């Protein structure tokens, strides 16, 4: 081995030492001020700074909440994609979610990352939140337990989990400047509680701050949030990093407790810290506190042995696929099944109809998106069980046209297109080609594109491919861009997103609307597709309140021009010819994404018409809805069977088919209430950044707490989910100790199939001194039983958590004297078993 370095380090390259271990105090003392300043900011989009002379390596971070993308939005290494957050929480299975977290940790190591940017632990105030699919639940106890399980799984591999976004980051509208105004009680009981539970039970090594303000102060410079609550009350001793580009001050953020600014190179620290130190706005011990936490994180992940700039690799395996399929199928929620329509028979003629049928809606958009090892469409999953199954589109329910890369080929006939990079625009004759790649995906984000010849975010690209349509007709091409672009078909300009541009919601909210153009094409004729693209600095407008990610991006789409009436007629004809129909409808990553919120709760145009028409044509129709958050269902009463399938990751289609055909008995439960209309949800009047102000007028009455209090009935209640078998709960007993409540009861499978039931326990204060929810979830467990089998199950929870509200006057939690009722059942609306206990004396507490 090359020569030894300080403190047991070994020399790996010249004078560059990588330590096996080190004393944080000694290194802190050895660091120069310049080195200290470098350590509290990233060096690029994903990496922290190193100190080579002292053997302190750079760390790699990676998104995200449902899979590990690696270091590239653009042309990245494929990965395992788990179901979205709501799909994970719908399992109500902490052991399974912990196994999923461990898979993410292993995937992170394969991608050379020692810090994983997840889980997302924000609350779902409204069905319209653009990133609602990333989070777990409307309930803080369920969200907290799912977060803790994920963190435990990730960190069991040695990888650091980063719980995010701390806090109140629950809408995308003006997310950098929106001020979340809420009571201290709502902040503590609803929005901080899942983070508090995760800190108590799993101790994440990292927290990530939110973009927004909380009661007038940005989260990244919020002393109360980062120091007084997180560190002082909860005893957090890890690292706090910013969300990407979510730092808005230098001295204030450092003093408040923000350790690491991401990404790099720094735009708010660096030289600004040096100035602040020289003028006394910042003292060296305040900087040292931040550096110490960075060094502590480096020390904690050193045992992983991940080298700097590690190559990214895949670890796709049958075991990975099996786990993803198990998680996906266990999170599907059978919301309705009249007359036992499901499961369908594999021996009967079957049709798959709907826009999500032949499209794998496997994840939402934004930071959660990643290139999957593979994806399985619902139609693929069904055909694996019923090879003769047929398909019809039914309606064009996409927000943006399907990707051009789905149908385009390169000059050599490979799937995808060719992308050429230049430092000069197309108008320059003889410009030099500096890079060329084959791209498999025409949703291109260049925020992390690297090339030694590219020194700024300004450059140009040509994208070329071939397309041969299957049928003659009019075809639409589309382009949305964070930059400028034009699309040519056989030399004819079809889409102009250069000379006229309209602000839209693409590319995290900075990009244009999707510009469309159409052209008549002939079947079986090959056409040349040519795109001229200029990067972000060429964008012709400025949009405030959104984050611009580097060089921007471009999204190219193509599909034959669709007539809704014709598509529905074709769907009706097919439905009339078969024994059973599966309608695959819902949303996708274009509708639900970081950067913007949904404008309404409805399915895409044409979807409801399609569903109603097919239901009339064939009553043996099951509706499978894919969305991360609730959608309206005006056909709910007519549909005999409804399954909520979320975004299911790599194994989306197989998981759906497993449940529809009964190979897996559904056991998922809703992690959030499904209102009938958006107007019914508790945040309806307040879910907007109105003049940069978001008023949390529903206070603590989020989700089912609101429906209980107002005695209103949602379409489907929190915790609801059906099975192909039946269960009976009995013999509830309650053990009351000084610190804990332990519930014991019997669960029996009274049906003919193996299955699982989620037992839920809610607590109510009988005579509270303040307005409290009618009941609140405090514990749950999932029991797997064979037909006829009985099991005794136990649900235990801390007494102080079960009984306390946050007393603002005392700035503490108050466990109030009096009687408490416990109700146990299988959803928030079905709680047949009851018990009670007493709190003898009012007490107050802080911390976890």
Asked if 736 is an active-site residue, the reply is no
**DSSP-derived 3-state class of residue 28:** helix
Cβ burial, residue 359 (10 Å; 0-12/13-18/19+): buried
Angle at 497 between CA 491 and CA 501, to 5 degrees: 155
**DSSP-derived 3-state class of residue 288:** helix
Close Cβ partners of 738 (under 8 Å, ≥ 6 residues apart): 799
Calpha distance 422→431 (Å, rounded): 7
Residue 437 has a CB neighbour count (10 Å cut-off) of 15
- Asked if 104 and 68 count as a contact pair (C-beta separation under 8 A), the reply is yes
Residue 107 has a CB neighbour count (10 Å cut-off) of 28
Calpha distance 420→251 (Å, rounded): 43
Q: Where are the alpha helices (DSSP H) in 317-433?
A: 318-331, 378-383
What's the chain's Rg over C-alpha atoms?
27
Buried b / exposed e over 280-291, threshold 16 CB at 10 Å, is: ebbeeebbbebb
User: What Cα–Cα distance (Å) separates residue 548 from each residue in 507, 537, 543?
Assistant: 8, 10, 9
Q: Where are the alpha helices (DSSP H) in 453-605?
A: 564-577
Pairing of strands 206-209, 239-241: parallel
Q: How many helices (H) and strands (E) does the chain have?
A: 18, 37
User: What Cα–Cα distance (Å) separates residue 241 from each residue in 24, 122, 272, 459?
Assistant: 19, 16, 18, 31
Calpha distance 151→101 (Å, rounded): 7
- Asked if 391 and 584 count as a contact pair (C-beta separation under 8 A), the reply is no
- The residue written with tokens 């409805």 in the block is 602
Calpha distance 310→110 (Å, rounded): 9
The single-letter DSSP state of residue 803 is: H
Close Cβ partners of 285 (under 8 Å, ≥ 6 residues apart): none
Calpha distance 611→621 (Å, rounded): 9
Residue 161's nearest CA partner among 237, 99, 104, 225 is 104
Residue 804's nearest CA partner among 844, 775, 835 is 844
Quick one: the chain helix, strand, coil %, rounded to 5? 25, 30, 45
Calpha distance 451→446 (Å, rounded): 11
User: What Cα–Cα distance (Å) separates residue 78 from each residue in 68, 91, 351, 360, 440?
Assistant: 9, 25, 31, 16, 11
Chain centroid to CA 274: 37
Close Cβ partners of 233 (under 8 Å, ≥ 6 residues apart): 846, 847, 848
Residue 26 has a CB neighbour count (10 Å cut-off) of 12
DSSP per residue, 191-206: ISHHHHHHHHHT--SE
- 64 preceded by cis ω (within 30°)? yes
Calpha distance 757→513 (Å, rounded): 45
Angle at 171 between CA 168 and CA 177, to 5 degrees: 75
Catalytic residue among 63, 93, 170, 243: 243
- The residue written with tokens 């009984």 in the block is 803
Residue 239's nearest CA partner among 255, 253, 260 is 260
The single-letter DSSP state of residue 344 is: P
Enumerate the active-site residues: 243
């Amino acid at each position: 081995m090359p020569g030894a370095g300080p403190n047991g380090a070994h020399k790996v390259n010249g004078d560059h030492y990588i330590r096996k271990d080190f004393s944080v105090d000694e290194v802190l003392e050895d660091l120069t001020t310049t080195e200290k300043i470098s350590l509290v900011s990233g060096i690029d989009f994903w990496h922290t700074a190193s100190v080579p002379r002292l053997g302190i390596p750079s760390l790699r971070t990676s998104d995200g909440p449902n899979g590990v993308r690696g270091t590239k939005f653009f042309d990245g290494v494929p990965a395992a994609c788990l179901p979205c957050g709501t799909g994970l929480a719908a399992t109500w299975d902490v052991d399974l979610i912990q196994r999923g977290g461990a898979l993410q940790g292993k995937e992170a190591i394969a991608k050379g990352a020692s810090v994983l940017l997840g889980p997302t632990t924000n609350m779902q105030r409204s069905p319209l939140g653009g990133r609602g699919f990333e989070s777990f639940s409307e309930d803080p106890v369920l969200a907290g337990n799912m977060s803790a399980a994920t963190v435990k799984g990730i960190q069991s591999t040695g990888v650091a989990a980063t719980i995010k976004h701390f806090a109140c980051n629950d809408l995308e509208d003006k997310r950098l400047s929106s001020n979340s105004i809420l009571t201290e009680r709502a902040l503590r009981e609803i929005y901080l509680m899942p983070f508090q539970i995760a800190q108590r039970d799993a101790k994440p090594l990292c927290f990530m701050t939110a973009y927004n303000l909380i009661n007038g102060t940005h989260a990244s410079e919020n002393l109360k949030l980062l120091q007084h609550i997180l560190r002082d009350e909860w005893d957090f001793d890890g690292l706090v990093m910013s969300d990407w580009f979510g730092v808005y001050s230098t001295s204030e953020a450092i003093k408040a407790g923000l350790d690491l600014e991401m990404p790099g190179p720094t735009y708010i620290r660096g030289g600004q810290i040096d100035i602040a130190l020289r003028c006394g706005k910042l003292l060296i011990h305040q900087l040292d506190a931040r550096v110490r936490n960075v060094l502590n994180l480096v020390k904690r992940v050193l045992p992983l042995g991940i080298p700097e700039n590690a190559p990214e690799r895949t670890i796709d395996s049958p075991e990975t696929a099996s786990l993803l399929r198990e998680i996906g199928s266990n999170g599907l929620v059978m919301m309705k099944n009249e007359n036992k329509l499901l499961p369908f028979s594999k021996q009967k003629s079957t049709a798959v109809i709907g826009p999500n049928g032949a499209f794998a809606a496997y994840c939402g958009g934004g930071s959660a998106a990643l290139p999957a090892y593979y994806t399985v469409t619902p139609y693929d999953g069904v055909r694996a069980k019923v090879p003769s199954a047929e398909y019809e589109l039914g309606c064009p329910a996409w927000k943006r046209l399907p990707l051009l890369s789905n149908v385009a080929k390169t000059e050599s006939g490979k799937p995808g297109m060719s992308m050429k990079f230049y430092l000069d625009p197309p108008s320059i004759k003889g410009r030099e080609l500096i890079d060329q790649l084959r791209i498999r995906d025409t949703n291109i984000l260049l925020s992390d594109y690297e090339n030694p010849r590219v020194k700024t975010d300004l450059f140009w690209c040509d994208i070329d491919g071939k397309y041969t349509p299957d049928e003659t007709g009019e075809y639409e091409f589309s382009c949305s861009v964070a930059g400028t672009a034009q699309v040519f078909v056989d030399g004819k300009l079809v889409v102009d997103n250069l000379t006229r541009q309209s602000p839209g919601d693409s590319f995290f909210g900075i990009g244009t609307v999707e510009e469309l153009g159409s052209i008549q094409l002939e079947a079986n004729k090959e056409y040349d597709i040519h795109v001229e693209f200029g990067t972000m600095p060429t964008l012709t407008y400025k949009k405030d309140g959104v984050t611009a990610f580097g060089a921007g991006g471009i999204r190219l789409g193509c599909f034959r021009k669709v007539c809704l009436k014709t598509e529905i007629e074709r769907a009706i004809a097919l439905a009339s010819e078969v024994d059973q129909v599966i309608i695959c409808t819902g949303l996708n990553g274009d509708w639900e994404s970081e950067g913007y919120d949904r404008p309404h709760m409805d399915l895409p145009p044409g979807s409801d018409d399609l569903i109603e028409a097919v239901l009339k044509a064939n009553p043996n129709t099951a509706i499978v809805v894919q969305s991360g958050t609730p959608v309206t269902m005006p056909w709910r009463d007519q549909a005999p069977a409804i399954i909520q399938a979320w975004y299911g990751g790599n194994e989306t289609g197989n998981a759906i088919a497993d449940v529809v055909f009964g190979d897996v008995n559904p056991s998922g439960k809703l992690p959030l209430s499904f209102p009938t209309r958006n107007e019914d949800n508790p945040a309806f009047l307040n879910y907007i950044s109105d003049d940069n102000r978001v008023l949390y007028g529903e206070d603590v009455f989020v989700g089912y707490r609101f429906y209980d209090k107002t005695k209103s009935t949602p379409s489907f209640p929190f915790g609801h989910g059906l099975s192909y078998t039946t269960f009976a709960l009995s013999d509830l007993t309650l053990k009351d100790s000084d610190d804990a409540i332990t519930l014991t009861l019997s669960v029996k499978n009274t049906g003919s199939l193996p299955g699982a039931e989620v037992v839920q326990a809610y607590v109510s204060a009988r005579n509270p001194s303040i307005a409290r929810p009618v009941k609140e979830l405090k514990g749950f467990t999932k029991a797997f039983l064979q037909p006829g089998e009985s099991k005794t199950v136990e649900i235990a929870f801390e007494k102080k958590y079960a009984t306390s509200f946050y007393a603002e006057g005392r700035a503490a939690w108050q466990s109030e004297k009096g009687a408490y009722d416990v109700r146990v059942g299988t959803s928030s609306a079905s709680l047949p078993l009851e018990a009670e206990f007493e709190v003898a004396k009012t007490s107050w507490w802080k911390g976890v």
